[in-house]
Amino acid sequence: MHPLDDIHSVLRALERGKRFLVSAHARPDGDAVGSVLACGMILHHLGKNADLVFADPVPLIYQGLPCAHTIRQISCIGTGYDAVILLECDGIERSRLEGLEKHVIINIDHHVSGRAFGSVNWIDTDACAVAEMIYNLARMAGVEITPAMATCLYTAVLTDTGSFCYAGTDAHTFDLAADLVRKGADPALLAQHTYFSNPTSKMLLLGAALSNLKRDGRLAWMWVTHEDMLRTHAAEEDCEGIVNYAIAIAGVDVAVFLRELPNRRVRLSLRSKGELNVARVAERLGGGGHAHASGCTIDGPLPKAADYILEQLRGCLQPPVHELV
């Protein structure tokens, strides 16, 4: 295990190299896409080469971000990079990219599940988004935040804070957002692109999930089958955020969205608005995330997976008496 490094170690590693690859976790979200794009722009301003890649496509709602077209979707990375900058991953496998093990890794993460798996490891669990760390990196490197960078970073902060709703959103988050707006991000336009530009398939899939909504006390859950995905022509990214409709119920503290995968495994999205840390639950099952939002993949079939996770969550919500005394 490497000791944890800081922003200065990252800056030194950037100074040393010329050619970088920048990526983040598979199924990239707004923070992953926005931060990879901004990181690429910063590297260009520093006179470096940066290849931006993901194992999965850039979700439709983020394809309008500046330079989003320069991101390539690949499964195996080439050679010749001085270092690979990996954002928001707790291990190289989270990127779902092959060939990373041969490279020097600069690991930048803000998750509580963050681990020091890289050659340089900068983990700041106080950052509201990895975008905040990239913003600090630009400032420390003496790179001026351009309107394009501000647009990418603002979108990342907007989405990773749940539109400034999640726990941890504080005056500092708004200071960061205000500075990004001052530097050229357009909040109304970016909200339009992020929240009011969904494909029809996503709404149809949401309908399927809502028709399968169940509630038991402080717990709510919903699911879609692989057949629902096919019938609604939904893409994987259309599942993003559906769980929020279950956690939106009054009195519900924990919500789960289950998606049946073609290989009979089941993808879980967990949300908490109470005391339960769902990152810990997801970590136990091989996933990760934040205290209030996490995910993992477990064995199916779907009804068995549902029984299993509900049993786990009920156990967490109602600790046995001997743990209370």
Residues near Mn ion, by CB under 5 A: 31, 129-130, 160
Q: How far is the CB of 237 from Mn ion (least distance, A)?
A: 16
Compute how many other C-beta atoms are within 10 angstroms of the C-beta atom of residue 303: 12
Q: How far is the CB of 195 from Mn ion (least distance, A)?
A: 18
- Tokens for 113, please give them: 């599940």
**222 in Cβ contact with 209 (< 8 Å):** yes
Q: How far is the CB of 296 from Mn ion (least distance, A)?
A: 16
The packing angle between helices 130-140 and 171-182, to 10°, is 60
Q: How far is the CB of 308 from Mn ion (least distance, A)?
A: 27
Q: How far is the CB of 128 from Mn ion (least distance, A)?
A: 8
- Find how far residue 230's CA is from the centre of its chain: 25
- Tokens for 188, please give them: 């109304």
Nearest to 92 by CA among 116, 111, 71, 117: 117
Q: How far is the CB of 39 from Mn ion (least distance, A)?
A: 13
Give the residue closest to Mn ion by C-beta. 31
Query: H helices within 217-258, ranges in order?
Result: 226-231, 244-247
In 206-253 the beta strands, taken as DSSP E runs, fall at: 214-216, 219-224
| Rounded-to-5 percentages of helix, strand, coil across the chain | 40, 20, 40
Nearer to Mn ion, 130 or 137 (CB): 130
How far is it, in rounded angstroms, from Cα 200 to Cα 285?
A: 32
Nearer to Mn ion, 108 or 219 (CB): 108
How far is it, in rounded angstroms, from Cα 244 to Cα 221?
A: 10
Nearer to Mn ion, 5 or 31 (CB): 31
